[in-house]
Amino acid sequence: MSPPDKHACPVAADRTAALGGERSTPAREKDPSSHSCSPTTPAPPPKNQTARDLLAKNFPTTPSSSAKPAARAKKPANKQIALMQMRRRAQPADPKDDRPSVNVPVGERLHVELELEGGLPGAPSTGGQIVYWFRKNIATGRALDVLAGRMGVSTTNVGARFSI
C-alpha cells in the first residue's frame, strides 16, 4: 500500500480511479509544484468557533490547581435520612454516658454537630465535623463545659465564644 497523497488533487484522484482504485500515483502528481491544480482550501472553522472564542474572551479559564476550600461531605436531600445518619455517627459527649452499661434511649438524646475551622481533635481529617449527643436534661453550662473539654478549649478564657 502506498502512502497517501500530500494534497487532495483531482488529477491524482482521477488517475487512481482510472487504474481501478489502485493507489499507485506517480510522484510528479503528488507534488503540487509539478502540475497545475488548485491549492486546497483549509476547512472553515466550526460554526460554534466564534461562540467559543467569545466565551473564552468573557469567561477566561482558571487553572484547576487553584486553592479550593475543602468540600464538605455531601448531605442527603432527604432531611429524615440526614438525621438518621447523624444519629448513627453520634458519640456520647458526657464521659458518664460513655460506658457500655449506659443505655439512653434515642428519644432522650440531644444531638449536636460540631465543626471547628482548624479541625477538631479526634475528628476525621476529611470533614472536620463530629456529632455528640447529650441527655436532654443536662444543664446548658455543663454541656458547654463538656464540649469545651472535648475541643480542648479552656473554659476560663473570657474571650471564648460558643455558637451552637
Q: Are 118 and 91 in contact (CB under 8 A)?
A: no
What are phi and psi for residue 156, nearest 5 degrees?
-85, -10
Which tens digits make up the pLDDT trace of 5-27? 455 555 555 555 555 555 555 55
Q: 111-160: per-residue pLDDT in tens?
A: 988 876 666 555 555 556 788 999 999 998 888 888 888 877 776 755 55
Q: Give the residue-averaged pLDDT of 103-111.
A: 88
Q: Which amino acid type is present at position 107?
A: G
Please, what sign has the CA dihedral across residues 52, 57, 63, 66? negative
Residue 34 — left, alpha, or beta (φ > 0 → left; ψ -120 to 50 → alpha)? alpha
Average pLDDT of 90-108? 84
Check pLDDT > 80 for residue 89. Answer: yes
Domain definitions of the chain by residue range: 1-38, 79-151
Whether this prediction's pTM lies above 0.75 is answered by: no
Tell me the mean pLDDT in the region 89-106: 84
Closest CA to 132 of 140, 143, 116: 143
Interatomic CA distance for residues 26 and 12, integer angstroms: 8
What was the pLDDT predicted at 57?
A: 85
